[in-house]
Structure 1
Amino acid sequence: MLDAYPIEIWNGGKIRRINNSVIHLMRGQVYEIEGKKFFTFGGADSHGKEYRKEGKTWWSREMPSSTEYEEGLINLDQHNWKVDYVVTHTCSSGTLALIADQLGIKYPLDPMHSYFQQISERLQYKKCFFGHFHRDIEFPKDQRLLYSDMVKLI
């Protein structure tokens, strides 16, 4: 459904405006908000697809296209690989291994985890926030798994 909304530029990155108070921050974009730079990249692979119905409980667009992956790298290049905050839905392969060790949650690696690993090895940032695993936990390299906690940034 998001693809039905037109793309606009907002604070330096692409968005889809859902209404006056809701905007979709698109994958691989860098936004400047109140003097801080945010790199965003949503999406994650659903697990248990054999028990789900495509188009109802999982969607093929959950995972990024090759164009979205590439656009994220291009945008980071344009910002000299420096942002203040990273906001994603899932995490890097290195953090996924920590989640398996510390929480006993085992998820298969996918291209998105590898992509975020590549980025984490090069990107300079203050804090990285991700969700997907429904816990509130601090991880090394200034990474924070968020579920119900609220964090004031600005």
Structure 2
Amino acid sequence: MPAEPKTRPTEASVPDFIAAVENPRRRVDAEAVNALMTEVSGEPAVLWGPSIIGYGSYRGPTGDWPIIGFSPRKANLVLYVSRDFDGAEDLLARLGKHKTSVGCLYVNRLDDLDPAVLRELVERSVARMRAGNPATAGC
């Protein structure tokens, strides 16, 4: 039986966490992504562990995870989104400057992305997760 993840929802304040982001550009980007993911998911933002802001949750093979989320890291803004849906590769091709790994998108600046494509990616990711096909969590 797999171990439960160490990253769990906390009671910490998401606004306080975002306000404490040192880099002003990263802080502004985090505020914008938080607004987008809150609106699209319809879920309140919750701090998972010390640095992931997540929305909603699902039960995956290793425990509970947010259905979508992000982390304003020093090096990048990391978006935790599902890409397990038809048309995902096309969206990524049109998204703008980013890098990917298993379940993450790494972005230097939100200004590097097409906002309409980002919104569609977030909308389709949330829909896919709610349809019961969880993406691989973690980076």
Q: Same fold (TM over 0.5)?
A: no
Query: If each structure's helix is expressed as a fraction of its own residues, which one has the higher value?
Result: 2
TM-score, scaled relative to structure 1: 0.26
Query: If each structure's strand is expressed as a fraction of its own residues, which one has the higher value?
Result: 1
Greater relative contact order, per chain length (Cα 8 Å cut-off, separation 6+): 2
Question: Which of 1 and 2 has greater Rg?
Answer: 1
TM-score, scaled relative to structure 2: 0.28
